[in-house]
């Protein structure tokens, strides 16, 4: 299975083989990050991303095929992330996959990018269903019950900023480089987390949703009060912010796991994915939560935790094995919920208010 990923700022292609025992083998996994193109702007610029995908994708696919040492005629199918993501990039990846499928007469699998993150621990650890996924990246923050291929129940999501986005925005306002997550984490290690008392929105709520924009505003207000912030001020602000994020993460995932158990029994694992899962303080907190909930923590290796082509290929292979193919008129999608049936929190809130 060839997998193509272009939903954000990584141009990626990979070839993955699904073995007869249900396990997987990565034959190649080529990722080209666009970080240097976006860094001057402090965040991903959609137009620049789409153009870079157009420029790079052919070469990246060629490299993935060469490294896998296979020809196009040996592919069982081709998979591309068809969303959710920046629409320009999604169009580039999906159209390329369609062209390959058409010319080579192989099936097309239009993969949901979130599903690919969700199924990765089955590729890396052979994990069985059901399990609980915490996905926290620059674009997403979700707690999801993964019950089977194509069977997902979203237990919690962010009502505003994604967690990685919050790290990036804090970094930008404090003059730290992009991407901000690792910079904020590094600065936080040198800071006093008690100097600033930041709010913990949603703490203690019975649902498992996140809200991070109020926390971000609180950090901005404190930063604005400081005249010419020194390195120690920046470190203290980062430490205070990260402490709030930790408290929120522990509280929200604990609730998420409780909701999981009430509905689906004990999860086989708590899985963390997305760039934020690289944060050591967050990893340690997740370890504690998993132990308390009597489950194991699985975090795929960093290269498979962040955006990559192997996860798209693997999700495609899992779907192909179940005969879940897609049409050539599958549309690229900027938004695409993993569980289309479960109402969004906003709808929940409206229905509750109406009653």
Position 108 contacts ligand KG4 (CB under 6 A): no
Assess contact for 169 and 216: CB atoms under 8 A: yes
CB neighbour list of residue 255: distance below 8 Å, 6 or more residues apart: 156, 205, 206, 207, 208
Closest by alpha carbon to 181, among 172, 190, 192? 172
**Binding partner of residue 167 among Zn ion, ligand KG4, none, CB cut-off 5 to 8 Å per kind:** ligand KG4
Nearer to ligand KG4, 18 or 198 (CB): 198
Task: Round to whole Å and give the CA distance between 179 and 165.
Answer: 9
Position 139 contacts ligand KG4 (CB under 6 A): yes
Assess contact for 338 and 115: CB atoms under 8 A: yes
Q: Which stretch binds ligand KG4 (CB under 6 A): 65-73, 153-161, 177-185, 206-214?
A: 177-185
**CA end-to-end distance (rounded Å), the chain:** 49
Residue facing ligand KG4 at closest CB distance: 181
Q: Which of residues 201-260 bind ligand KG4 (CB under 6 A)?
A: none
Nearer to ligand KG4, 68 or 176 (CB): 176
Position 93 contacts ligand KG4 (CB under 6 A): no
Assess contact for 3 and 79: CB atoms under 8 A: yes
Burial of residue 146 (CB within 10 Å: 0-12, 13-18, 19+) is buried
Contacting residue, 256, 274, 300, 316, with ligand KG4 by CB under 6 A:
274
Contacting residue, 307, 308, 314, 336, with Zn ion by CB under 5 A:
307
Q: Which stretch binds ligand KG4 (CB under 6 A): 104-112, 135-143, 202-210, 292-300?
A: 135-143
Position 300 contacts ligand KG4 (CB under 6 A): no
Assess contact for 278 and 137: CB atoms under 8 A: no
Give the residues lining the site for ligand KG4 (CB under 6 A). 8, 137-139, 164-165, 167-168, 179-182, 185, 274-276, 278-279, 306-307
The footprint of Zn ion (CB under 5 A) covers 137, 307
């Amino acid at each position: 299975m060839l997998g193509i990923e272009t939903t954000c700022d990584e141009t990626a292609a990979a070839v993955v083989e699904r073995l007869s025992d249900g396990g997987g083998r990565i034959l190649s996994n080529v990722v080209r990050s666009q970080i240097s193109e976006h860094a001057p702007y402090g965040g991903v610029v959609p137009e620049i991303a789409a153009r870079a995908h157009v420029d790079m994708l052919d070469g990246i696919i060629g490299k993935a095929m060469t490294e896998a040492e296979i020809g196009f005629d040996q592919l069982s199918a081709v998979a591309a992330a068809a969303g959710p993501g920046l629409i320009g990039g999604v169009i580039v990846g999906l159209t390329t996959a369609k062209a390959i499928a058409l010319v080579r007469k192989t099936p097309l699998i239009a993969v949901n990018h979130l599903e690919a993150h969700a199924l990765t621990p089955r590729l890396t650890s052979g994990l069985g269903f059901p399990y609980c996924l915490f996905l926290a990246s620059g674009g997403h923050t979700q707690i999801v019950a993964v019950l089977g291929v194509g069977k997902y129940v979203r237990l919690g999501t962010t009502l505003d900023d994604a967690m990685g986005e919050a790290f990036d925005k804090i970094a930008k306002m404090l003059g730290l480089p992009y991407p901000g997550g690792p910079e904020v984490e590094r600065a936080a290690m040198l800071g006093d987390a008690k100097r600033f008392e930041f709010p913990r929105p949603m703490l203690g709520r019975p649902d498992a949703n996140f809200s991070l924009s109020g926390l971000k505003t609180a950090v901005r207000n404190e930063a604005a009060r400081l005249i010419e912030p020194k390195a120690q001020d920046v470190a203290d602000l980062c430490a205070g912010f990260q402490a709030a994020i930790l408290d929120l993460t522990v509280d929200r995932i604990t609730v998420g796991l409780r909701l999981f158990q009430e509905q689906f029994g004990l999860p086989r694992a708590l899985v963390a994915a997305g760039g934020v899962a690289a944060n050591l303080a967050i990893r340690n907190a997740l370890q504690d939560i998993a132990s308390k909930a009597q489950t194991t923590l699985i975090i795929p290796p960093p290269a498979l935790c962040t955006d990559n082509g192997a996860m798209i290929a693997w999700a495609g292979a899992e779907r192909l094995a179940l005969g879940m193919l897609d049409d050539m008129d599958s549309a690229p999608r900027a938004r695409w919920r993993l569980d289309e049936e479960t109402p969004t929190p906003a709808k929940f809130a409206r229905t509750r208010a109406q009653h």
